[in-house]
Structure 1
Amino acid sequence: MPSSLVRRVVDGLREVFQSGRSRPLQYRKQQHRALHRLITERQADIEQALKQDLNRNTYNTSLFELISIENDIKLVESNMADWAAPRPVKKNLNSALDDPLVGAIAAGNAAVLKPSELSEHSARLMKELLPLYLDKEMYQVVTGGVLETQELLRQRFDHIFYTGSSTVGKLVMEAAARHLTPVTLELGGKSPCYVDKNCDIAVACRRITWGKFANCGQTCIAPDYILCEPSIQDRIVEEIQKTLLEFYQKDPKSSPDYCRIINTRHFDRVLALMNKCTIALGGESDRSQCYIAPTVLKDVLPHFKIMQEEIFGPLLPIVTVNGLSEAIHFINAREKPLALYVFSSDKTVFFSLPVAPLALGVLFELASPVWLSTSGYL
């Protein structure tokens, strides 16, 4: 998309917002209902696009995407009148997720959406469908890669919401600073799991396995690595192996429930992280299909490459520590993660570990336009 067109998109949104079109609550409810029709009437198209992008099956598309959006819309619509009043907003499990487009519509914002160019089928479908359901003068989709993103960042926004990597998050914040634009960043990180020896290890490993390998590890709050005492490392590997067999059968590559890495560039990046690591489970790969098997790595040392960056893929390193104090020191010595997972039967363990700040979004006030990005990597 030419840079001049990107500017026209943003300028057009500002103009239509200033006309006052989105001020009536009835208008916002109409747009929410239209968004709800989109995800219900075009569910098959959405499932197909994510199948092409990630080999995602229909169950997980509903679980990870559609159900949460649908619940968010229902919750926001039923509370919109109260929320629009000048009082603090209450939150529950659904609203805490802060779907940015649903929130932007509820607050009467105009919005630009920039989907990741990596998920090309999903981005193309979003570009095609949103104008068919929502007010296309108030809600616009800009597709493209680095050049289009750079042009968007040159524009003056009232709020920017970005989900993705820390590297790009720094560029977003730097660009926003030129206009003193408020920014909400939901960035990834190396989210640790501490597995205490005094816990139900089978239950802990089942939960870690689901969280780690769902969407082939490509979620921002996926468990990045395990911290545990050496005495339980082999038991953890054993329990994860049992769970993987239950989830994906003997051959995850042929499982309808196992996704793929988004493209070959990130396939190569993830595969390179296994350098020097001891493979306890998995390790198989097929570049032609962007397939990397669910993989567990044992006896990983802190200086290994895999411990230097967010994995964002189906590799699960295990780092051994001598108890809780060493685990706390290990976590505190590194950048703050997006999430922290603790498994223990001792309640005092939960109060001893550092609490990582969890980026859940922002309450939007009336402003225009808002840029909503779900771009993972540039």
Structure 2
Amino acid sequence: MEPAGDPLRRLREAFRAGRTRPAEFRAAQLEGLGRFLQDNKQLLLDALAQDLHKSAFESELSEISISQGEVNLALRNLRAWMKDEKVPKNLATQLDSAFIRKEPFGLVLIIAPWNYPLNLTLVPLVGALAAGNCVVLKPSEISKSTEKVLAEVLPRYLDQSCFAVVLGGPEETGRLLENKFDYIFFTGSPRVGKIVMEAAAKHLTPVTLELGGKNPCYVDDDCDPQTVANRVAFFRYFNAGQTCVAPDYVLCSPETQERLLPALQSAITRFYGDDPRSSPDFGRIISEKQFQRLRGLLGCGRVAIGGQSDASECYIAPTVLADVREAEAVMQEEIFGPILPIVPVRGLEEAIEVIARREKPLALYAFSNSCQVVKRVLACTSSGGFCGNDGFMHMTLASLPFGGVGASGMGRYHGKFSFDTFSHHRACLLRPPGMEKVYALRYPPYSPRNLRLLLTAMEAHSCTLL
């Protein structure tokens, strides 16, 4: 790889020359990204299997198809998204043209994580390219096989005067962040997010931070335990639990816990067989470091289901911990693995109290046969996203923004939200050069009559004068 400064200079020159601004150029880049996905599908499936033991089903569903869908959506809507957006005017500006122009920021940096190394790299890239930016892509060094494909193959499909991949670990990323970018998009942990934000602040660079958090899952007494177990188990153990929007812990009454445990065992057995280690559909932990961290959490509460592990292949069985207390280690950090704690509460109100006193999560789930219960959880809590009676299906809709709030992140993307995130919305007003006698009402010497006329002319919309 060339030193970071060289590609940054090259990309900045290309942006200043206006290379990325035409719609035709942006569309060509998006089409190239689509061809990359189509031409290298098997290569990508193999890389994801090597990195995460991810099945072809999970890889197609959560990595390739979502990325391709974002490309297709952007290509269909690119010219409409790029159009100037007309805005309402007051009486004082009736003869003017007022609009919002969507301009690219310039040189943007995308730092991607390892858990969905294709999806969480390419989906923000779609937005950055559609918005007309030059892009520096920093894939995760932890998902080595996918990183290799992104570094060696993807650049062949994009204009390399406007796109670069930079490799390396924390040290190289730290040096990269010393450079000035026009926008930074980061997906990862809150701890690293703070480092990124601190580096960005030195240059007053705007950021989107897609972070994690402990996503609560309230299960009401009024529910079908097997339906809940099927859905919670699927979304908790998908990608071996290494999903930032996975249900991180269950809040329910002791009675519901006892009904839920055999249902969860039934679901896990149907999904992965009597020995999940031999299932082709159950993934592995990404690294020994993460494996050891997760194994240390197995001593919390009571192991009601699973609990087996094998360091030689970074395997941790689909696990349920019952009777977990809030103060235990498994409740202090995002789990990011196939472990599901159940925290008993007396009912809905206590569950809402538990959620409210913790940091705002990236996602929140509520299961109940009563729509009033689901709506109460929604009304009394705050989270990046919310889904009633299912797992993270809300993030499959490009018409919904995806992002966190508070400690779980800032900013949003997916679909048009990605385009808007990577675009500067420039306020524009074009006034004709004539009509000076009308506009002279503004000038000194001031008079009460002119003030009344001006206030009347501007009252339709508020106006701030700096």
TM-score, reference length from structure 2: 0.75
1:1-378 map, 5 Å: 5-87=3-85, 99-353=123-377, 354-358=381-385, 359=403, 360-361=412-413, 362=418, 363-366=420-423
- Structure 1 window deviating more from structure 2 (5-14 vs 33-42): it is 5-14
| Rounded Cα–Cα distance in structure 2 between residues aligned with 1:319 and 1:224 | 11
Secondary structure of the 1:190 match is coil
Unaligned runs of 5+ in 1: 90-96, 368-378
By how many angstroms is 1:9 displaced? Answer: 2.1
The one-letter amino acid paired with 1:311 is: I
Secondary structure of the 2:421 match is coil
The one-letter amino acid paired with 2:382 is: V
8 A contact 1:195–1:343 mirrored in 2: yes
By how many angstroms is 1:366 displaced? Answer: 4.5
The one-letter amino acid paired with 1:61 is: S
Q: Which residue of 2 aligns with 1:373?
A: none
Secondary structure of the 2:4 match is helix
Per-residue Cα deviation, 1:308-336 (whole angstroms, up to 9, x for no partner): 00000000000000001100100111111
- Structure 1 window deviating more from structure 2 (202-211 vs 284-293): it is 202-211
Cα 1:98–1:133 change in 2 (3 A) is closer
The one-letter amino acid paired with 1:50 is: L
The one-letter amino acid paired with 2:30 is: H
The one-letter amino acid paired with 1:10 is: L
The one-letter amino acid paired with 1:237 is: L
Per-residue Cα deviation, 1:345-377 (whole angstroms, up to 9, x for no partner): 22222232213124142523457xxxxxxxxxx
By how many angstroms is 1:58 displaced? Answer: 1.1
By how many angstroms is 1:110 displaced? Answer: 0.6
8 A contact 2:239–2:282 mirrored in 1: yes
The one-letter amino acid paired with 1:255 is: S
The one-letter amino acid paired with 1:9 is: P
Secondary structure of the 1:241 match is helix
8 A contact 2:214–2:335 mirrored in 1: yes
8 A contact 1:169–1:187 mirrored in 2: yes
8 A contact 2:235–2:246 mirrored in 1: yes
| Rounded Cα–Cα distance in structure 2 between residues aligned with 1:257 and 1:203 | 20
TM-score, reference length from structure 1: 0.92
By how many angstroms is 1:276 displaced? Answer: 3.6
Cα 1:365–1:193 change in 2 (3 A) is closer
The one-letter amino acid paired with 2:346 is: N
8 A contact 1:6–1:148 mirrored in 2: no
Q: Which has the larger radius of gyration?
A: 2
| Rounded Cα–Cα distance in structure 2 between residues aligned with 1:235 and 1:114 | 46
The one-letter amino acid paired with 2:35 is: R
8 A contact 2:300–2:321 mirrored in 1: no
Secondary structure of the 1:355 match is coil
By how many angstroms is 1:213 displaced? Answer: 0.3
8 A contact 2:29–2:159 mirrored in 1: yes
- Higher relative contact order structure (alpha carbons within 8 Å, sequence separation ≥ 6): 1
**Count of residues paired in the alignment:** 358
8 A contact 1:130–1:136 mirrored in 2: no
The one-letter amino acid paired with 1:83 is: W
8 A contact 1:293–1:314 mirrored in 2: yes
8 A contact 2:216–2:361 mirrored in 1: yes
The one-letter amino acid paired with 1:48 is: D
- Structure 1 window deviating more from structure 2 (165-174 vs 356-365): it is 356-365
By how many angstroms is 1:250 displaced? Answer: 1.0
**Aligned Cα RMSD in Å?**
1.7
8 A contact 1:275–1:305 mirrored in 2: no
| Rounded Cα–Cα distance in structure 1 between residues aligned with 2:171 and 2:191 | 16
Secondary structure of the 2:243 match is coil
By how many angstroms is 1:158 displaced? Answer: 1.1
By how many angstroms is 1:277 displaced? Answer: 2.7
